[in-house]
C-alpha cells in the first residue's frame, strides 16, 4: 500500500512502526524550527509503505514561501540531501501546533 500524495503524520499514524518515537522526534525538530523562525510545518515522504516515512520540517517566510529547515529519516537523523526539491514529499503539511496536538491526543502526559 502506497502513501497518498496528500498524506500527513496524522493520516499515516495507524501504519507507523514506532508511532510515539516518530511523532516525538518530528515534534522536537519542528519545535526547534518554531523557536528559531516563529513557525514550523512538517511534511512526510510519500514513497514506501508509510511505516517509517522520512519527514521534512520547513517554515514560511513573511512572503509565504517555504524555507526548508531540515529533512530527516524516521530515526530523526538528517538525510544526505536535506534540501532536495522533488516530488517525494506530500502536498499536505501539519503545523507545529497540529503535530503537538496529535502527540498529546495519542499519548497524553501521565499524571505524576
Q: Assess if residue 112 is contained within a domain.
A: no
Nearest Cα to 67, choosing from 53, 54, 56, 52?
A: 56
The whole-number average pLDDT for the span 80-87 is: 74
Query: Can you give the pLDDT at residue 111?
Result: 61
Full residue range of the structural domain in which residue 81 is found: 9-106
Q: 41 forms bridges with which residues in the sheet?
A: 58, 95
Mean pLDDT score, 53-62 = 95
Residue 111 lies in a domain: no
Count of domains for the chain: 1
The rounded distance, in Å, linking the Cα atoms of 92 and 56 is: 11
Inside any domain, residue 73: yes
Q: Map residue 7 onto helix, strand or coil.
A: coil
- Give yes or no for residue 75 having a pLDDT over 70: yes
**Does residue 4 fall inside a structural domain?**
no
As a whole-number percent, the residues of the chain with pLDDT over 90 amount to 75
Is residue 1 very low, low, confident or very high in pLDDT (cuts 50, 70, 90)? low
Q: Note whether residue 29 is domain-resident.
A: yes
Dig out the grid coordinates for 61 from the structure: 517566510
Mean pLDDT of all residues in 32-60: 94
Q: Is residue 38 assigned to a domain? A: yes
Amino acid at each position: 500500500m502506497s502513501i497518498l500524495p496528500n498524506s500527513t503524520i496524522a493520516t499515516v499514524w495507524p501504519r507507523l512502526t514506532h508511532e510515539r518515537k516518530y511523532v516525538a522526534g518530528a515534534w522536537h525538530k519542528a519545535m526547534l524550527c518554531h523557536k528559531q523562525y516563529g513557525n514550523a510545518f512538517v511534511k512526510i515522504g510519500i514513497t514506501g509503505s508509510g511505516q517509517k516515512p522520512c519527514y521534512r520540517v520547513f517554515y514560511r517566510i513573511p512572503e509565504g514561501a517555504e524555507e526548508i529547515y531540515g529533512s530527516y529519516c524516521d530515526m530523526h537523523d538528517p538525510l544526505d540531501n536535506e534540501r532536495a526539491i522533488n516530488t517525494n514529499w506530500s502536498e499536505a503539511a501539519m503545523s507545529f501546533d497540529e503535530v503537538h496536538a496529535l502527540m498529546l491526543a495519542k499519548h497524553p502526559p501521565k499524571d505524576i
